[in-house]
Structure 1
Amino acid sequence: MLDLARIIADELAVKPTQVENALTLFAEGATIPFVARYRKERTGSLDETQLRHISERYDYLTELEDRKKVILETIAQAGKLTEELQAKIEACQQKNELEDLYLPYKPKRRTRATIARERGLEPLADWIKQLNLSKASAALTPEAARYLDPEKGVETVEDALKGAADILAEEIAERTESRAYLRDYFLKQGVFASRIKDDYPEGTTKYEMYRQFSVPVREIAPHNLLALFRGEKEGIINLTLDFDETEVLNYLESREIRTKVPEIRNFYRELIQDGFKRLMQNSLTSEVRSLKKEWADIESIETFEANLRELLLSAPAGMKPTLAIDPGFRTGCKVSVLDETGQFLEYQTIFPHTGDRQKVEAAKTISRLIAQYKIESIAIGNGTAGRETDRFIGDVLKTCDNPPIKVMVNESGASIYSASEVARDEFPDLDLTVRGAISIGRRLQDPLAELVKIDPKSIGVGQYQHDVDQKLLKKKLDDTVESCVNYVGVDLNTASKELLGFVSGLTPTIAKNIIAYRNENGAFKRRKQLLKVAKLGPKTFEQAAGFLRIRGGDNPLDNTAVHPESYAVVEAIAGDLGIPLTEIAKAGDRLKSVQLQKYTSDRVGLPTLRDILKELEKPGRDPRAEFKYATFKEGINEISDLRPGMELEGIVTNVTNFGAFVDIGVHQDGLVHISQLADRFVNDPKEIVKVGQVVKVRVLDVNEQLKRIGLSMRSRDRA
């Protein structure tokens, strides 16, 4: 069987021992974030991306090996396993290649070929096959007449020849090499073609661009393919995979027909055509569609992953007293006050959009809350009434001596959170809209800590997320959340159970137990206290401890990414430098002069030591970028206010394969098409923009009726 570690090592261009060590660590219960950060010596500093590839490919190849065992056993039981076939099966590295090899031996329902065999026509088929391979010439009719048997349903020569043809057609249709060739041919030379069904007149569907649409299979964009499949599923689009049938049949004939005898050649031409249309075309077309769907899913999920990562790692405004506003017109704006730890303090409902008198009262309320709670940040949801509320708050802040910053916050998914079990548990006595306002405020304070409470699919940064493989999507998004949470680190004394649940090694149950312990015993003072938490044993502690932070605890190293297993090394360094452990972060340049080789051991090598020194230079630092926010242009509040040529500031809300969507403050995101992202050719929009990025754009065109806004980031002189 296959040497899985070597195969994966070759794919990643690393040493087999690196892969073997990583797989051993996984088998021992280590998580990918833990291995990537704290076991670099074992893996040769493989990063998270490489480690996830190892884990996923190992699972794939292991499933493949298990499938091989089943197939080999089935073929052997049928008495048809040869050494050559066994060698081919054992060498397989792709599932579709394996299934091609298995197809001729796979138990199947009764086919025309099996019926012909039951009627005793297999010897006739074998005779015709040998005749094809030889230079001999013989008439088919006399030989076929020998197999007439009315009791078995072979009443005429035509019946006998038709049965023999069915047997040969099935054999040809199941040839591994031919199926592989034609599958590849469809992928490289096929064309996806669509048309809108006659039931839908022009202009009546969202799939108008696919009314008369065709694109080579190899060139189709992921979003186009997913849209076509969705339209087909909804019964609006007819989708076909077109190809040159003559070329396909010529290929099969060149492979199968060896004789020059006209009668045999014609016989084979007919059975090949029948076998292709009846037994190969539909199955191969389905396989190609499935392969392209899998590819489109992966491409779209990767885009979703990248967007989600950027959103989760958005720069936090910081844990400051915050006023959070969920805007509304008739029902008013829900205003929640959060302290510097994100705790809810008070809420009010104001009505700044329902009359001058109520607007004055709303302004007084906002001014009072700002002064009373020493507010430093104001978060305003960007949904309905968002721009109007932003303008109102701006007017109020003009009367303040030291006004807080105000930021429009993307509220996608806030309503999902507010109605969730998580929100009900946290705020059982509050209205949904108040919970929504709290979520908006916390997103400004710390996006990661708040967004982990929401299903990533509800955050609004995906592309056709409901059309892709849902199991794969969930796994990839969960991996992304886990990666982001462990990259940033988690405050053990303020984190929610949802946030703790994504920490390396922690399960939802253990996360809940940590909260219970914290509520009963007060704030954690030392990481070692975690071992007193129910169900949190030494292995879980090993996996989780380095990612959990304790601010102001007994040991300053507990507020760093230094793992407790390496504390002794830091203490040794501090001792040699003559610096108290509590002061080591102030050592500055003296840390850079440390001779790391002196402190290496079997467990702690140079990669870990370098990480430790880097962490000690800025202990407890937040690795996320500096906080920035967009300033929307005054007077531009609705799509009707836009004019071509306007230059505006906005924030990227979603990146797709075909461009980026940008919030410019008019309730409708504009699209910067991939061709307008830069002055050069752009292959992948993610190379240019990312979710949460503040960008300068120029309005190209506006369609109020369809609510479409075209934007550009190109230089004006090159537009």
Structure 2
Amino acid sequence: MTNIQFIKKVVTTSDKNIQATLQLLSEDCTIPFISRYRKDFTGNLDEVQIENIAKLSKQYEEIVKRKDSILKSIEEQNALSPELKSKIENSFDLQELEDLYLPYKKTRKTKADTARENGLEPLAKIIMAQNADDVEFLASKYLNDKVVNEDDALQGARDIVAEWINENIYIRKSLRRMFQRQADITTKVVKAKKDEEGAQKFIQYFEWSEPISKAPSHRLLAILRAENEGFIKFKLEIDKEEAVNFIEENIIKNRKSDSASHLELAIKDSYKRLLEPAISNETLQEAKTKADAKAIDVFAGNLGQLLLAPPLGEKRILAIDPGYKSGCKVVCLDEKGDLLYNETIYPHAPQNESGMAMKKIRSMVNAYGIEAISIGNGTASRETEFFIKKIAFDKPVQVFVVSEAGASVYSASKIAREEFPSYDVTVRGSVSIGRRLADPLAELVKIDAKSIGVGQYQHDVDQTKLKEELDTVVVRCVNSVGVNINTASKSLLSYVSGIGEKMAENIVNYRSENGPFEDRKQLKKVPRLGEKAFQQAAAFIRIKDGKNPLDNSAVHPEAYKIVEKMAKELKASVSDLIANKDLISQIQPEKYVSEEIGILGLKDILKELEKPGLDPRKSAKVFEFDPNVRSMKDLKEGMILPGIVNNITAFGCFVDVGIKESGLVHISQLKEGYVSDVNEVVKLHQHVQVKVVEVDEARKRIQLSMIL
């Protein structure tokens, strides 16, 4: 099987498109670049399809590498028959390859190895042949100083038979299917730990049983976490009798043979000691892999929505990190997010200096031309929001409440220390809260995605796969928006197609030494930024008010001459073309098709000329919680409240209704009728109306419904 055939099992497209994509990837082209600027080469494959092709190509290479390793290992043992070699070469299933390799993979001495050393393999073959009339008499012929009696001989022979049964590929595959379809995961509480702190959140798993095939990802991950923390024990098993009967049917060919009873004992031993533990663990790992994939998928979807949340834009912002005893940390930021001033106010208990705090806020708003106020949604958030809204400003000032998840992680990070070496973590945290309002994407890329708090069980899933997927999402989001090279941080620039961390640092250093970039060509002057990096990156950076108007668009520099030709033939300048629908409508893209650029690329250019540098994100909107709800005590069943979706899981979404605890809208309560995917109904940060269904103050749980 070729890599293209392997990829086509998953990605539905032509061989030509796959080959073209693999060729571009081999030339170090990035996925954002390929999907946006090489549509005519790939047959208009989107980012997700190209990502799949890249992943499957890597999988194929790993399988080929593993096959080579297995073949080499067996060959070194002088055990590679032509038949076995053919089976290995024709298999592209890692599980099957490991089954084929199992007999040659001894990592420690087994009971069967000892029995072989003691000369008992011929006796094992006699038992397996099922022809002998008196096996016990035959066993007496294999006695020696290590095998002192017939029982020892027969036991050793059965150990060898048990290993053969364990290595039988058909039996392993069949049992694997039985476990996948029929295995139940059953849990029991660890009595000594059931009253410990933290145990109550796993109470439903103190005694639980369900088919592993039906267990949703979040439940399996919760069970595994409960077991890892020592609160429960679990087992994964199928009907033992059915499994043993199945093996007997396939191994025992002659029930009347004297070997039958020995085979029965070997089968039971093989199942209990070898097959059940291995295949049970395999099944659990496979289910865990699927659960990880689902959880990572949910997390990645949430992260994408969060990164593309509506920005307020370049405004002067006053940001507040609310608090009680330690006060509210206030910062004033300019349009670029630079820190102008910081102070601490104490409007809440125990100081209750609200009068003085009001004066200070009014003074800061006037002195720094503040256009919007950003309040973190943590402790004292609602009280701070009410306090701010009581202030009579000289001009209208919009007030927003933003998520502060991960702000403390940023404030203590190396990035924050580099940005604000002379300020403490509280000031840095407030700056982050303000910048999140101006441009969530630019600020959130500075934080480890796992700390943003929009996933489920993110610390329990495969961390390598999680990081890969989240990095992919960040890259996709950053490049779909584009980056202002003269204001972007090193963190944001590092996600631009073709740039990376070291190059981003070089760009920032070049900008510091030489002033703002005036055109995209200047990128080539940045140390170590060669032609390839320029090709991959140039169209994803933006230069506002630069020398060339196309530098503030998604038109790639390689197409500038085409745009200039279009303008010239219309007797206009490039500037005249931009955002001029009448002029653009006169252009016939077919006239400009060449080997370098096809019709799909040309149509994209025309779309971009109509709305150059269009930000795909919507504008930020002010939201107001119900002023009468400040804690769980204020909630009553049947209440209808405004809320913001602040997390999405496989089983529903969590909604912030303005108190510390978010409420759960179960998937069955999102709307009338069946819902297969939560994302079909709600998006992160969506403003919704919810009804209070149940309030459990003791467990701090709120059940909500969107079916009003």
TM-score, normalization by structure 2:
0.97
Query: Which moves more between the two structures, 24-33 or 387-396?
Result: 24-33
Measured after TM superposition, the shift of residue 444 of structure 1 is 0.3
- Within 2, Cα distance between the matches of 1:93 and 1:630? 54
| Correspondence for 1:570 among 546, 563, 574 | 563
**Alignment correspondent of 2:230:** 235
**Alignment correspondent of 2:390:** 395
| Correspondence for 1:560 among 553, 575, 578 | 553
Measured after TM superposition, the shift of residue 400 of structure 1 is 2.9
> Which SS does the other structure have where 1:438 is aligned?
helix
> Which SS does the other structure have where 2:142 is aligned?
coil
| Correspondence for 2:421 among 412, 428, 446 | 428
- Within 2, Cα distance between the matches of 1:351 and 1:633? 24
- Within 2, Cα distance between the matches of 1:703 and 1:163? 61
**Alignment correspondent of 1:480:** 473
Alignment of 1:135-150 (within 5 A): 136=131, 138-149=133-144
Instruction: Tell me, yes or no, if structure 1 residue 78 matches structure 2 residue 71.
Output: no
Counterpart of 2:328, as a letter, is C
Alignment of 1:270-285 (within 5 A): 270-285=265-280
- Within 2, Cα distance between the matches of 1:689 and 1:200? 38
**Alignment correspondent of 2:42:** 43
- Within 1, Cα distance between the matches of 2:586 and 2:620? 33
**Alignment correspondent of 2:539:** 546
- Within 1, Cα distance between the matches of 2:701 and 2:350? 31
Unaligned ranges ≥5, structure 1: none
Deviations, residues 108-165 of structure 1 (Å, cap 9, x unaligned): 32211111111111112222222x2xxx56221222222222x2x1221222222211
Counterpart of 1:446, as a letter, is D
Contact 2:194 2:231 in 1 (8 A): no
- Within 2, Cα distance between the matches of 1:661 and 1:677? 11
Measured after TM superposition, the shift of residue 678 of structure 1 is 1.3
| Correspondence for 1:311 among 300, 306, 326 | 306
Query: Which moves more between the two structures, 595-604 or 365-374?
Result: 365-374
Contact 1:137 1:261 in 2 (8 A): no
Counterpart of 1:335, as a letter, is V
- Within 2, Cα distance between the matches of 1:22 and 1:194? 47
- Within 2, Cα distance between the matches of 1:102 and 1:592? 64
Query: Which moves more between the two structures, 201-210 or 256-265?
Result: 201-210
- Within 1, Cα distance between the matches of 2:519 and 2:127? 83
> Which SS does the other structure have where 1:199 is aligned?
helix
Counterpart of 1:89, as a letter, is I
**Alignment correspondent of 1:384:** 379
Distance 1:357 1:248, change over 3 A: closer
Measured after TM superposition, the shift of residue 374 of structure 1 is 2.6
Number of residue pairs matched by the alignment:
706
- Within 2, Cα distance between the matches of 1:576 and 1:360? 67
Alignment of 1:123-138 (within 5 A): 123-130=122-129, 132=130, 136=131, 138=133
- Within 2, Cα distance between the matches of 1:471 and 1:382? 31
Measured after TM superposition, the shift of residue 9 of structure 1 is 2.2
- Within 2, Cα distance between the matches of 1:581 and 1:674? 51
- Within 2, Cα distance between the matches of 1:208 and 1:10? 43
- Within 2, Cα distance between the matches of 1:210 and 1:586? 60
Counterpart of 1:381, as a letter, is G
Please, what is the CA RMSD of the aligned residues? 1.5
- Within 1, Cα distance between the matches of 2:41 and 2:226? 49
> Which SS does the other structure have where 2:421 is aligned?
coil
Contact 2:647 2:655 in 1 (8 A): yes
- Within 2, Cα distance between the matches of 1:215 and 1:103? 31
Counterpart of 1:419, as a letter, is A
**Alignment correspondent of 2:5:** 6
Instruction: Tell me, yes or no, if structure 1 residue 374 matches structure 2 residue 379.
Output: no
> Which SS does the other structure have where 2:702 is aligned?
strand
- Within 2, Cα distance between the matches of 1:442 and 1:473? 26
Measured after TM superposition, the shift of residue 683 of structure 1 is 2.0
Counterpart of 1:14, as a letter, is T
- Within 2, Cα distance between the matches of 1:319 and 1:540? 29
Contact 1:662 1:670 in 2 (8 A): yes
Instruction: Tell me, yes or no, if structure 1 residue 302 matches structure 2 residue 297.
Output: yes
Deviations, residues 18-56 of structure 1 (Å, cap 9, x unaligned): 222212211211111111111112211111111111111
Deviations, residues 516-564 of structure 1 (Å, cap 9, x unaligned): 1111111100000000001111111011001000000000000001110
Measured after TM superposition, the shift of residue 357 of structure 1 is 7.3
- Within 1, Cα distance between the matches of 2:437 and 2:705? 28
Contact 1:40 1:607 in 2 (8 A): yes
| Correspondence for 1:627 among 620, 624, 632 | 620
Deviations, residues 558-614 of structure 1 (Å, cap 9, x unaligned): 000111011111111111222211121132033234221111111111111111111
Contact 1:202 1:208 in 2 (8 A): no
Contact 2:518 2:546 in 1 (8 A): yes
- Within 2, Cα distance between the matches of 1:592 and 1:92? 55
Distance 1:108 1:426, change over 3 A: closer
> Which SS does the other structure have where 2:685 is aligned?
coil
| Correspondence for 1:171 among 138, 158, 164 | 164
- Within 2, Cα distance between the matches of 1:647 and 1:354? 30
**Alignment correspondent of 1:338:** 333
Measured after TM superposition, the shift of residue 372 of structure 1 is 2.5
Counterpart of 2:531, as a letter, is P
Measured after TM superposition, the shift of residue 202 of structure 1 is 6.2
> Which SS does the other structure have where 1:302 is aligned?
helix
Contact 2:382 2:658 in 1 (8 A): yes
Distance 1:356 1:477, change over 3 A: closer
Measured after TM superposition, the shift of residue 263 of structure 1 is 2.8
Counterpart of 1:431, as a letter, is D
Unaligned ranges ≥5, structure 2: none
Contact 2:628 2:634 in 1 (8 A): yes
**Alignment correspondent of 1:509:** 502
Instruction: Tell me, yes or no, if structure 1 residue 531 matches structure 2 residue 530.
Output: no
**Alignment correspondent of 1:264:** 259
Counterpart of 1:70, as a letter, is S
- Within 2, Cα distance between the matches of 1:593 and 1:285? 67
- Within 2, Cα distance between the matches of 1:628 and 1:101? 60
Counterpart of 2:407, as a letter, is A
Measured after TM superposition, the shift of residue 627 of structure 1 is 2.4
- Within 1, Cα distance between the matches of 2:177 and 2:620? 49
- Within 2, Cα distance between the matches of 1:475 and 1:654? 21
> Which SS does the other structure have where 2:575 is aligned?
helix
> Which SS does the other structure have where 2:387 is aligned?
helix
- Within 1, Cα distance between the matches of 2:240 and 2:582? 73
Measured after TM superposition, the shift of residue 666 of structure 1 is 0.9
Alignment of 1:12-51 (within 5 A): 12-51=11-50
Query: Which moves more between the two structures, 564-573 or 253-262?
Result: 253-262
Measured after TM superposition, the shift of residue 401 of structure 1 is 4.9
- Within 2, Cα distance between the matches of 1:273 and 1:140? 19
Query: Which moves more between the two structures, 116-125 or 520-529?
Result: 116-125
Deviations, residues 406-439 of structure 1 (Å, cap 9, x unaligned): 1110001111111111111111112211111111
**Alignment correspondent of 2:287:** 292
**Alignment correspondent of 2:592:** 599
Distance 1:276 1:589, change over 3 A: same
Query: Which moves more between the two structures, 450-459 or 672-681?
Result: 672-681
Deviations, residues 666-713 of structure 1 (Å, cap 9, x unaligned): 121111111211111122212221211111111111122222111111
Measured after TM superposition, the shift of residue 663 of structure 1 is 1.0
Contact 1:334 1:350 in 2 (8 A): yes
Instruction: Tell me, yes or no, if structure 1 residue 590 matches structure 2 residue 583.
Output: yes
- Within 2, Cα distance between the matches of 1:364 and 1:551? 38
Measured after TM superposition, the shift of residue 262 of structure 1 is 4.7
**Alignment correspondent of 2:605:** 612
Percent identity reads 46
Contact 2:315 2:371 in 1 (8 A): yes
Counterpart of 1:318, as a letter, is G
Distance 1:484 1:586, change over 3 A: closer
> Which SS does the other structure have where 1:329 is aligned?
coil
Instruction: Tell me, yes or no, if structure 1 residue 118 matches structure 2 residue 117.
Output: yes
| Correspondence for 1:326 among 321, 326, 338 | 321
- Within 2, Cα distance between the matches of 1:117 and 1:233? 39
Counterpart of 2:189, as a letter, is I
Query: Which moves more between the two structures, 104-113 or 335-344?
Result: 104-113
